[in-house]
C-alpha cells in the first residue's frame, strides 16, 4: 500500500530522537509509524510541513486563486499530486489549545481546494478515497478531550472536512504522554501498529 504521512511540528521530523530540549513525541510517533510501515513492505511518502517551509497563510492572492479554481502555487500542487496516489493518509500533529496547529489547518485550506473536485454528487476530491488516520499528541487526557472539549479535531477534520469530500474512513487516536510513565510512552511507540488498524 501507498502511505502518505503529513507531519506538523516546528522541530521537524528530525526531533524524533530523545534529545532534551530538542525532542518531540509527535515526531517520535511519526518516525515509528514510518519505520513500521516500511518494515511491513509499504511505500511511505513523508510531507514534513516545517521542513518544507510550507506557508499556511491564505493570502489574498491565494484566496482569489482558490475561488477561481486556479493553482495556488507549485508546492501545493505537488502535495495534492502526491495525495492522489495514497491508499492511506496519516496526519501526525500536536494539539495546541485542543485543536490542530496552523500548519495543518493551512495545509487543509490550501491543498483541498475547489479546483480539486472531480465529482460533485457525491463530492470527491481524491479518487482513490484513501483512509484517513489522525494521530495527535497533547497534554489533555483522551477522555477529557472527548467528553469535556467535545473532540474538536474529529468534528473539524472527520465530519467537517474529510467526510464532506467523500473520505468516509476516518480514524483518530490521541497520545497523552505527559500523563504516562516513560515505559508506557516507549511501549506505545514500539507497538505503534496497534493505532494504525
pTM of the model: 0.93
**Residue 197: predicted pLDDT:** 77
Alpha carbon distances (Å) from 31 to 6, 10, 143, 164, 174: 12, 15, 26, 30, 16
What SS3 string covers 30-51?
Answer: HHHHHHHHHHCCCEEEEEECCC
**Homologous superfamily assigned to 2-196:** Flavodoxin domain (3.40.50.360)
Is pLDDT larger for residue 94 or for residue 21? 94
φ, ψ for residue 118 (rounded to 5)? -105, -15
Least confident of 55-64, 65-74, 129-138: 65-74
Read off the pLDDT of residues 79-121 as tens digits, 9 standing for 90 and up.
Answer: 999 999 999 999 999 999 999 999 999 999 999 887 777 767 6
Amino acid at each position: 500500500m501507498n502511505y502518505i504521512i503529513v507531519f506538523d511540528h516546528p522541530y521537524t521530523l528530525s526531533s524524533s530522537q530523545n534529545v532534551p530540549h530538542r525532542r518531540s513525541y509527535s515526531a517520535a510517533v511519526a518516525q515509528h509509524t514510518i519505520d513500521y510501515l516500511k518494515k511491513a513492505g509499504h511505500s511511505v511518502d513523508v510531507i514534513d510541513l516545517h521542513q518544507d517551509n510550507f506557508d499556511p497563510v491564505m493570502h489574498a492572492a491565494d484566496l482569489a486563486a482558490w475561488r477561481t479554481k486556479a493553482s495556488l502555487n507549485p508546492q501545493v500542487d505537488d502535495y495534492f499530486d502526491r495525495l492522489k496516489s495514497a491508499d492511506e493518509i496519516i496526519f501526525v500533529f500536536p494539539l495546541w489549545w485542543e485543536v490542530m496547529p496552523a500548519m495543518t489547518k493551512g495545509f487543509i485550506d490550501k491543498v483541498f481546494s475547489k479546483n480539486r473536485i472531480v465529482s460533485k454528487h457525491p463530492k470527491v476530491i481524491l479518487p482513490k478515497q484513501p483512509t484517513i488516520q489522525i494521530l495527535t499528541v497533547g497534554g489533555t487526557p483522551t477522555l477529557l478531550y472527548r467528553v469535556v472539549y467535545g473532540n474538536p479535531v474529529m468534528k473539524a477534520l472527520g465530519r467537517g472536512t474529510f467526510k464532506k469530500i467523500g473520505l468516509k474512513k476516518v480514524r483518530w487516536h490521541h497520545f497523552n504522554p505527559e500523563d504516562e510513565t516513560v515505559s508506557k510512552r516507549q511501549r506505545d511507540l514500539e507497538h505503534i501498529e496497534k493505532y494504525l488498524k
